[in-house]
Amino acid sequence: MNLSIIIPLLNEQDSIEELTSWIKRVVEKENYTYEILLIDDGSWDKSWDVIERLSKENKNIKGIKFRRNYGKSAALNVGFEHSEGDVVITMDADLQDSPDEIPSLYSMIVNDNYDLVSGWKKKRYDSKLTKNIPSKLFNKTTEILSGIKLHDFNCGLKAYRKEVVKSIEIYGEMHRYIPVIAKWAGFRKIGEKVVKHNKRLYGKSKFGVSRFLNGYLDLMSILFVSKFSKKPMHFFGLLGSFTFLLGFLAAGVLGVQKIVATLNHNPMRLITNSPYFYIALVLMIIGTTMFLTGFIAELIGRNSPSRNHYLIEKKENLS
C-alpha cells in the first residue's frame, strides 16, 4: 500500500465527510493505493456515526474509537500502530490542513528520501495574541534545544517513512515533538515544506495555553531521556558530585576561618550561627541525594529488559 492517512479527531462531525471526500479526490487522481484511518478521540457528538457510515461506503476508510478522550498523542500512536502504508501522512480533521498537499509530501518521502517532512504554516489565520506569538516562542525554544531547524513543530500535517512511525512511541503531549523523537530514534533526514493554512469552517479550536506549559515539560522529558536513559549516573552523579563538593568546600572555608580566628584569639561566633553553614549543609545533602538517585537509577536500568534494546537499521544474513 502506498499511503496511510491518519486523522485524529474530537467532535468534528461537520467536517469529516467533506475532508474524506477531498482526500479521496486527490489520492485517486494520483493513483495511490491508500487507507484513511479516522481516530475518534472520545467524541461526544455524532462523529462516530459519520465514521461508521463512511467506512461502509468506502472500504479504504477505517475507524478507531476511544472510550474517552486520551489526547492527540494517544490517537496518533494508535494510528501509527495500525497503519500499513509505505508513507504515512497525518493531518487534522478541521479542514485547516489541505489534502492538496499530499502528493508533494508523498514525493518528498519517496523521491527525495526524507525520513520525515513537517508542514510549515507560514501564513496563518489564527489569533496572533493567543496562538501565533506563543507558537513562535515555542518553536524557537524547541529549535535551540533540539538542534532541529523547523519553523512549525506543532503543524499537524506531516509525512513519514513507514519505518519512522513503527520505531517511535508518543504519549502525553509529545505529538508536538515527533521530529525530536524521530531524530533520537536515528532518523536524521528531516525536511520542511510550506503548506497552506485554511480558516476553520466548523467547530472550535481545541487549543489552550496549558498545552504550551505541558509541552515544555514534555520537551524536557524527551531531551533528558534521549541523552541519559541508558546512563542516568552521568547526569545525576555528575551534578550531585558537583553540588556536594561545592557544599563541602563552603563548609571547609567556614571551618578554616574558625580555626584561624581561634589561633589568633579573635572573637568569632559559632559556625552553627552562620547562615552559610546551613547553606553548605543543604548543598551537601542535595548532592548526596542526587548521587544516590543516579546510583539507584543505574541499578534499575541494568535490570531493565530494554537495557540492550537498540534500533537496527539493516541486517544481513548472519548465519
Please determine, for residue 313, whether its predicted confidence score (pLDDT) is greater than 60: no
- Of 26-35, 145-154, 205-214, 283-292, least confident by mean pLDDT is 205-214
Helix, strand, coil % (nearest 5) of the chain? 50, 10, 35
Q: Please tell me what DSSP assigns to residue 272.
A: G
Query: How far is 160 from 146, CA to CA, in rounded Å?
Result: 19
Percentage of the chain beyond pLDDT 90 is 46
Confidence of residue 127 (pLDDT cuts 50, 70, 90): low
Query: pTM value?
Result: 0.73
Please determine, for residue 294, whether its predicted confidence score (pLDDT) is greater than 50: yes
CB 117 within 8 A of CB 153: no
Please determine, for residue 101, whether its predicted confidence score (pLDDT) is greater than 80: yes
Neighbours of 213 (CB within 10 A): 11
Please determine, for residue 319, whether its predicted confidence score (pLDDT) is greater than 60: no
Mean pLDDT of 140-144: 79
CATH for 3-227 (3.90.550.10, 3.40.50.720, 3.40.50.20, 3.40.630.30)? 3.90.550.10
